């Protein structure tokens, strides 16, 4: 079947096939297959867009196996906007009904309905306790109790919104409370958006569902008016919110996107207001979520914040993806497992050398994916909250 990908020809032609991105691509590293590298995928996109090659099952496989980690982008000397090319390709495939079947669309639609998501998440957690969820699904243990939602706090010399989103609020709500406590501790009043900010739409964009992603983005923008910064404690959500200017193509969206900042980046510039911790952790391994390191390119602030309560330990793998990739670990479990195995090897080497027992990750998807392999993975702000002695339960 021939298919118009509607990609920007200049962006598509910007790859000079140098191959410098290949070592940074988790699917190439796991398989050694050129077709599963950024260069190979761009070549396949060109064949479909420029030479009329069919968008056959093999083409779909090459595209669907991409984690969309964008580890290839910082490595690329030509500045190829690979994420944009992949999102455009996914949009064309989903629009043509080649990917993202009805059950995926239904599941993603739930993310915008927060009460329904919370109920579904609780039901899944109960099913896990009853051993009704097969282990091969690879889902880490979900919470049955998540405690009260984050409440706004009025006092502070400045004000910021705290974006709470969908899955993060369902599965890691104590982290939101820790982030709110951290903001309060650096003298920032916290505003919490209403139901309109239920979901950033990142997973919809990944799946090629651009129109639903746009609808969610418009709701999110309307839910956080004004000019206060928008602080995000999920790397994937933060990257999506920062891309709203491109997604919607409006000045309003561009102004909104410029207000978005990762919580570590926001707090790192105010660390002098944070009192000393009640206790310190020893060495803690830092796992960089791809959407913080390769997309937001703002991962160093995690070390600054974590250093307040622990000794950050680096992984010597240039931030190679762990294989979580939003819904990727559920949709491509075999390849996601092989990619994770490489990450686990590196973590094992580092923990053996340093004695660290905890991994810090600032993204819920990465945390759940690595926890499912048996690691103790904590969000950096949770570690700060515990070291400071704050109750976030």
Binding interface with ligand SF4 (CB under 6 A): 15-21, 24-27, 38-39, 41, 66-72, 75-76, 78, 80, 82
Structure tokens that stand for 86 in this block: 């992949």
Kindly tell me which of 15 and 286 has the beta carbon lying closer to ligand SF4: 15
E runs forming strands in 218-321: 230-232, 260-262, 283-287, 311-313
Kindly tell me which of 58 and 157 has the beta carbon lying closer to ligand SF4: 58
Question: How far is residue 207's CA from residue 332's CA, in Å, rounded to a whole number?
Answer: 13
What is the nearest approach in angstroms of ligand SF4 to the Cβ of residue 128?
29
Contact at 8 Å (CB) between 240 and 202? Answer: yes
What is the nearest approach in angstroms of ligand SF4 to the Cβ of residue 85?
9
Kindly tell me which of 176 and 343 has the beta carbon lying closer to ligand SF4: 343
What is the nearest approach in angstroms of ligand SF4 to the Cβ of residue 79?
8
Question: Half-sphere exposure of residue 60, counting CA atoms within 13 Å on the CB side?
Answer: 18
Phi and psi dihedrals of 135, rounded to 5?
A: -60, -30
Contact at 8 Å (CB) between 162 and 180? Answer: yes
Kindly tell me which of 20 and 60 has the beta carbon lying closer to ligand SF4: 20
The per-residue DSSP string of 338-370 comes to HHHHHHHHHHHHHHHHH---EEEES-HHHHHHH
Burial 23-60 (b: 16+ CB within 10 A, else e): ebbbbbbbbeeebbbbbbbbebbbebbeeeeebeeebe
The per-residue DSSP string of 64-122 comes to HT-----THHHH-TT---HHHHHHHHHHHHHHTTSSS-HHHHHHHHHTT-HHHHHHHHH
Kindly tell me which of 33 and 376 has the beta carbon lying closer to ligand SF4: 33
Kindly tell me which of 26 and 212 has the beta carbon lying closer to ligand SF4: 26
Burial 206-233 (b: 16+ CB within 10 A, else e): bbbbbebbbebbbbbbebbeeebbbbbb
What is the nearest approach in angstroms of ligand SF4 to the Cβ of residue 293?
12
Kindly tell me which of 26 and 165 has the beta carbon lying closer to ligand SF4: 26
What is the nearest approach in angstroms of ligand SF4 to the Cβ of residue 360?
22
Burial 112-124 (b: 16+ CB within 10 A, else e): bebeebbeebbeb
Structure tokens that stand for 107 in this block: 């599941």
Kindly tell me which of 16 and 278 has the beta carbon lying closer to ligand SF4: 16
Kindly tell me which of 77 and 148 has the beta carbon lying closer to ligand SF4: 77
What is the nearest approach in angstroms of ligand SF4 to the Cβ of residue 238?
17
What is the nearest approach in angstroms of ligand SF4 to the Cβ of residue 14?
7
What is the nearest approach in angstroms of ligand SF4 to the Cβ of residue 1?
23
What is the nearest approach in angstroms of ligand SF4 to the Cβ of residue 319?
11
Q: Strands 311-313 and 283-287: what pairing?
A: parallel
């Amino acid at each position: 079947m021939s298919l118009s990908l509607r990609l920007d020809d200049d962006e598509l032609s910007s790859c000079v096939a140098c191959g410098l991105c290949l070592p940074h691509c988790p699917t190439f590293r796991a398989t050694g297959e050129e077709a599963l590298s950024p260069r190979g995928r761009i070549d396949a996109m060109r064949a479909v867009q420029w030479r009329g090659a069919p968008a056959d099952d093999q083409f779909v496989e090459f595209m669907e196996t991409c984690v969309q980690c964008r580890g290839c982008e910082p490595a690329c000397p030509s500045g190829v906007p690979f994420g944009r090319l992949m999102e455009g390709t996914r949009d064309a495939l989903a629009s043509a009904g080649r990917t993202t079947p009805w059950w995926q669309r239904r599941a993603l639609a739930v993310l915008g309905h927060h009460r329904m998501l919370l109920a579904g998440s609780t039901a899944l957690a109960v099913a896990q306790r009853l051993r009704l969820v097969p282990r091969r699904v690879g889902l880490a243990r979900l919470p049955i109790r998540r405690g009260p939602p984050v409440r706004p706090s009025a006092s502070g010399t400045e004000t910021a919104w705290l974006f709470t989103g969908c899955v993060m609020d369902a599965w890691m709500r104590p982290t939101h409370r820790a982030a709110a406590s951290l903001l309060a501790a650096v003298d920032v009043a916290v505003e919490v958006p209403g139901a309109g900010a239920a979901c950033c739409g990142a997973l919809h964009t990944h799946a090629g569902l651009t129109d639903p992603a746009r609808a969610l983005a418009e709701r999110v923008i309307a839910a956080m008016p004004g000019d206060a910064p928008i602080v995000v404690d999920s790397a994937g959500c933060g990257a999506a919110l920062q891309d709203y200017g491109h997604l919607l193509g409006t000045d309003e969206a561009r102004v909104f996107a410029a207000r978005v900042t990762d919580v570590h980046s926001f707090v790192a510039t105010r660390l002098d207001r944070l009192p000393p911790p009640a206790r310190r952790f020893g060495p803690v391994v830092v796992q960089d979520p791809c959407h913080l390191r390769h997309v937001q390119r703002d991962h160093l602030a995690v070390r600054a914040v974590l250093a307040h309560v622990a000794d950050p330990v680096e992984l010597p793998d240039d931030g190679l993806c762990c294989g979580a990739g939003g819904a990727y670990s559920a949709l491509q479990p075999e390849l996601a497992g092989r990619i994770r195995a490489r990450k686990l090897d590196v973590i094992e080497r580092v923990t053996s050398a340093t004695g660290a027992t905890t991994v810090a990750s600032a993204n819920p998807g990465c945390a759940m994916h690595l926890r499912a392999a048996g690691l103790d993975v904590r969000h950096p702000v949770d570690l700060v909250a515990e070291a400071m002695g704050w109750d976030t339960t």
